[in-house]
Structure formats: C-alpha cells, structure tokens
Amino acid sequence: MPAQIRAVTPGQNLTLGEPATRTCQNPIESRAVRRTVTFDNAGRPNQTTFLYTPVEAAADLPILLAVYPGPAEGWECASLPLAQAGYATLGIGPAYSFDLDTDIDELERLVDFARRGRFPGTDGARIALLGGSYSGLHVQRMLQRDPDFVAAVLLGPPTDLFEMRRQLESGEYIPPYGLDQALIALGLPHRQPGRYWQYSGAYHVQPDFPPILLLHSRSDAVVPWQQSELLARELARLDVPHETHFFEGASHYLLDEGGQADTVKIYEFTLNFLDQRMSE
C-alpha cells in the first residue's frame, strides 16, 4: 500500500555558506569542498546540512542525498569520499525520533530545491538516496512517498520492526546502547500495530521503486542482518532491481567502523552501483 499523500510546503530562502576545503585521512583519504546549507524549514531553522562537491569544479554533478544516523558533522569522513568521486553530496542527520515524517518533510524540501536547480553545478534530474541504520527508515519512507529517484543505497537498515520486537522478546536479539528501550517505547505490537507497520519498509515495497543496493554485516549487533534479507525478498517478489551484499566482519556502522578492507569494498560497491544507475 503506498504511503498516504502528505502535502509538504516548499522550503524558502535557501542560502549556501562560503566554500571551504575539507580533508579526511580515514576511512579513505579524501578531499572536497563543503558549504553549509540553510533554509526556512516551514517556519523553523533546518537541521545542520552540508553540501560537499569535488575540489575541481564540474558541471551537472549527480546529487546524492546522504541521510546519516547522527549529526552530519560526525559523518563528514563518509561524505568527502562520495563527493571526491564526483557526487554533489548533501549530508544531513535527522534527530532520533519515532515521528519521522516531520523530518522527512524537511528532506523533501531539500529534494525540491535540488530538482529546481538551486544547487549550482548539479543535475536535479539525477538524485539518489543513501541511508544507514536508523536513517534507513527515512530513506525507505521517502521512497514510499515519492519513488522518483535514480537509486537508493541502504546500509544495515531496519525493515521489519515486528520481527525485531519478536526477536527481542524471544531473547534472540539483545541490542546494545539501550536500544531495546526504543522498541519498547513503540508499545506492544498487538496494541500499537500501526506504529510498527508504518515504519517497517518490508511491508511497503512498491513495483516502481528505483534500483536499491543493500549492504549489511552478518556481525551487526544493532540491526540483525536478516532485516536486509527480508527487504531483499520483497524487492525480488515485486521485481524491483536490487543488489544485496553481506559482510562477515564489519560492524554496524559500515562506513565508519568497518575494517579497512571492508570499508574500501563498501565504497566500491556503492560507487559502482551509483555510477551504473546515474549513467543509464
């Protein structure tokens, strides 16, 4: 069932800050230009957002909206290699909440700016999404609202909150960082099924979804790897083009804490996938 249509008022007063060259040594040595993005977000300030572009100026850059599971500043060393590879990367990290739709409204405003050509040197007709862990919920929800993207990349995403709660109750799943409290806060599934269903992307796959890349570690202690397997099964059932890759030793935050070999491989999978889709 498609997500209910939600009217989103456009953002206003988009401003890009002064360009500054940023560098990172790990996980991949990289260098790109960063500008702060600010706009009127339905009468409120927007969450911290950065636009990263290659150091060497280029025209018609494809756009990657990278939705991170935490503040964008903390994920700069994930954004820089993506920009260095030729993507205008919009990095943003919504606050943790189970009222995701307000944050997704803000993400849609960013997409609207991009499609209207408000980011210089970019191609608003070629936009892909990237999300991981908690922010994988945002990307899946965005696709339900509007599947008109070129591609999407999901790293260790929760896709079936009913199954995660079942595993928690059976003792099969013991999440770290007190994340069990987040599932408990949702209420009991038989009493609050709507909450679980709304953000369980495996139940909302649509045949018109863009191609999707799934990356997950079998050693993931935060989101069980079977969550990606469940989503992949639904994508296959509805003939949605997709790739699924599992890693044996990487940790939950694949682009942040994986071993160097896994990290390089993850970037290779991601960029090869995006390059292929953006050129079609």
pLDDT attached to residue 157: 94
Distance in angstroms (rounded) separating the CA atoms of residues 188 and 211: 33
Question: Is pTM, for the whole model, over 0.85?
Answer: yes
Per-10-residue mean pLDDT of the chain, 280 residues long, equals: 69 98 92 98 96 93 95 94 97 82 94 97 97 92 96 95 86 71 68 83 97 93 92 98 88 54 85 94
Give the per-residue pLDDT at 115: 98
Q: Domain 12-160+202-278 carries which CATH code?
A: 3.40.50.1820
Measured CA to CA in angstroms, residue 137 lies from 100, 170, 229 at distances of 8, 24, 16
Phi/psi class of residue 232: alpha, beta or left (left: φ > 0; alpha: ψ in -120 to 50)? alpha
Output the pLDDT for position 173. 78
In the chain, what are the domain boundaries? 12-160+202-278, 161-199
Q: Which pLDDT does position 256 carry in this prediction? A: 47
